[in-house]
Structures are given as structure tokens and as C-alpha cells.
Structure 1
Amino acid sequence: MLLAVGLDPNRSIIFHQSNVPAHSELMWILSCQASTGYLSRMTQWKDKTSNERGNSEKLKLGLFSYPVLQAADVLVHRSTHVPVGHDQAQHLEFAREVAIGFNHTYGAGILVPPETLISPAKRIMSLATPTTKMSKSDQNWKARIMLTDSEEMIKSKIKAAVTDSGTSSISYDPEGRPGVSNLLDILYYSHTSNEYKSQELLAQDLNGISFKALKEKTAQAVEVTIRPIRERYYDIRSDEQLMDRVAAQGAVKARANAETTLDGVKRAVGLT
């Protein structure tokens, strides 16, 4: 999928994380420095465990320590700037805290505290529950649009998208009318002509059409955006030699890059 959306392996290092052992090695070393108090305040941990407090057997260590692995993923390659959405900003701030704390204990410059680059794109909400973020792990398959979805599937999902009761007018109000506003967001961000400067102006232009027509326009715009990605994805998937070659070449570069950081960390903590 990374190749399908346009990443060039000649400019980007693309690899399987499991082919670079330094990720998990650094994660273990950093976990000895990470604060359990900080980890327990992570939004992901609180959200996933809010209904499990009475049954601690279901609470897994991997979920609790996952932010440490995410921090290691970034720090092992000495990343200086990392683009993320708003929901991942907390994880990157944790990576900064870990790096700064490690350097304070073992010496300046060993790890690079990364800077956060917040994506300008607004997050897209669930088609089934427009007050929550669209997620690929949602148990309701109709709640999300996948980059591999067929045109028929896109139409079906958006046709079933939740809208708002009480009025059939088109207006942009994310808090008061999350269903219609979510469709307008999707249509706005899928609009390649940049004809509209805001979702409000788009809503004004569409006011008077039916919800059915809005959904048809949205589905068409999504299909236009996704089709070339989907087609490239299946073309690339059919070329296993290409994928193996890109992954193997990327792993060699990533291992060499990561080992430089890991060697410095091990020397600092006395493991070599």
C-alpha cells in the first residue's frame, strides 16, 4: 500500500519492522526508563481498558507498553520530524519525553527528541457513528472506507452512512449535525479541483439537494480519489518479486541505520 500511494523506494526506506531487531531491542532498554504513571495516562490505554478494570486478566502488558515500542520505532532511526494526526500527538510527545529523560541520565545527544508535525488534514469520522473517528479496526465494516474497496462497496457504505434526523437541509455543523458534516468533510477532502475554500461554502452550494444526492456525490468523489490507488495496489500485489526486493533492500538500509543508534545506546547503559 505504501508503494501504491506513491512512496518511492529510491527515496524512502520501506521495510518490515520485524526484519530490524533493533526496534524491539531499543524498546526493552527504553521500557526500563519509561514511567508507568505516564503510560497509564495514555489515551489509548484509558480508552481500551475503561470497561475492564474489574477483570484485570483481560488487561495485557503489550497494550500498556505499546507506546514504548512506538517511541523506539522513531528514536532508533534518529527521526528529527514526524508527521502525525492529532490522535498520535500524545504518543510522539511520549517519545520526546523518553529521549530527553534518557539523554539526561546517560548523556546528551544519544537519542534525538523528535519534533511533531501535525497534518493539516482533518480526521474523518465513522460512517456508522459520526461522533467517533473512522477506524480500520471498527467491528462494523460499513463504518469505514478502505483504500482497497471496490466502487460498489464504496457506494454501499456511503449509502448506508448515518445522517441527521429532523431536517433534510444540507449544512455544515460538526457538533450539531455530525452525520451530514462528516459526508461534507469526505466530499471536501476528496474534491481535487479545490473549487471550494471551506466546507461551509460547499454546504451552501449543495443546500437544497437530498441526502441521497449528497451521498451519491460523496461516493463518486471518493471513488475518483481511491481508484488509482486501488489499481496500483493490485498491480503491485501481483508482482511478488518487486515487493520482496523493495522489502529486502529497505531492511538492509534500516538495519544499518538502526544499529548505529542501538550501539550508542548500549554503550551508554553499559551493555557492550
Structure 2
Amino acid sequence: MTDEPVLLAGDTQGVRTLTLNRPHRRNAIDAELWAALRHALTEAANDDVRALVLTGAGGAFSSGADIRADDTRDPLTKMRDLNDVTLLLHELPLPTVAKVTGVAVGAGWNLALGCDLVVATPGARFSQIFARRGLSPDCGGTWLLPKLVGLQQAKRLALLAETIDAEEARSLHLVTWVVPDERIDAYVTDLAARLAAGPPVALAQTKALLHESSGRSLREALAAEASAQAVNFATTDVPEAYAAFVEKREPHFTGDRHRQPPSKAPKDTSCVKQ
């Protein structure tokens, strides 16, 4: 045991990296770490952060909620903490990447699935372990899994609580890329930098549109897209993208709004001779 914080945070060129830091418990998440995640995700939504990476220390992503922790709170209070973090991560208005090494099981795996993109090493292992603990999935697992893999595969993963490897997870669309151990740090750094360089307002709206798409009709989706584009055209990023295309350079996106020209007072025509 050490006095190190249970969650490490670091910023590099608009990218914030949050590292679950309980390696002695394979980054099992206790009440202190849930609280730290809630605070960190709230800050990320309000700070000048353009992309977020979630990972774990000591060669593991997370072994899930810490069932050995001395926590006397009632189950509903505990679940409120889990749900707060799950919603904050899902609704974060910026791109998120899970960097997974080692185990990602239970609530830990569902936190990774709550990120927009998942990069894993070949040795990563995943499990919806809840049934082995006499529990049902939480942290959004019952909502995420059917959308990602379909209902039948979701039932297989949740009911049997099998452990699958990174390649199978990728084949089921639960991992975006599998990258060798020696390359994953550089790979995620480059990926996060590319996301951070994107148009922040447009990316936030794209993420929200995709998240809400399954509950909309085509007519409703088109209306939502039109509203989003109106907001995008009100930023300086659209003319910047056009200028960069013409000038054959990379665009510099800021998400700034157009400055409104000063309003001109209407002419007083009350004394004009007829």
C-alpha cells in the first residue's frame, strides 16, 4: 500500500489521461476511486480538454468494482456512485479512448466500453464477470452490450460470464484496435492527438447524435442533424476548414463562435420630408 492517489491525471496538448492507480488490486474500483473518477470526469467536461484517455496502472485496466473493500454503505448508495460515473463518461462532450492492458472485467470492462474507442494489447482479457459473483451487469453493460454485439451475443457474455481475449473482443466489435504491447503507448498518443486536433463542437455533436440515433426515427435524426449543422456553421471551424483546404494545410480548429458584427442603429426617418 502507498500514499499515491488512486487516480492519476495528466495533460498533454489538450489530451487528458486518467490512470486508475490501485495496481495492488489490479485497479479494482473502491468508493474512493469512484469518487475520484466522478470528480475528474466533471472537471474534464468543464476544462479546456479536447480528448480523454482512460487506462490503468501496473499492467491491468481494471478488475472491476472492489468487492473486498470495507464499504458499509447500502447497495443503492453504491450504485448511485457507479451510475454517476457511467453517465459522466458516456455524456462527456469530447472523444474518449480506453487503453486496455491486462484484465478489464465487470464494471472495469463496462467503463472501457463506455469510451468511444477501445485500444487493447493482444494479452488483454475481458469478462462480464457479474454472474460468477451472484450479480447482474452494471455500469451500463446491459445497455451497451446489445447495441455493440446484438442481443444473443450479449446474453452469451452476460449469462456465461466467459473470459474472452482481445482478438475475439475485436471480432465482436468490443475492441476497436488490437496493438502490440510495445506500440500501444505511441499508438494511443497519436490517436488521442488526432482526436484532440479535430473540431471540438462538431465532434461533441457527432458523438451525441450517434448516441441518440437508436431512439430516433429517420425524420427525427434528420432534424437533429440539421440543428447540429446550424451550430457548426456558427463556429469559426467551418471557414477555417475551407481555408485550410484551399491553402493545402492542416486546419487549426478551436470551436470558437463567430464574432457578431456590432448592430447598427436604425435610421430615424421620422423627420424625412415627404
TM-score (norm 1): 0.26
Kindly indicate which of the two structures has a greater share of residues assigned to strand: 2
Of Structure 1 and Structure 2, the greater helix share is in: 1
| TM-score, reference length from structure 2 | 0.26
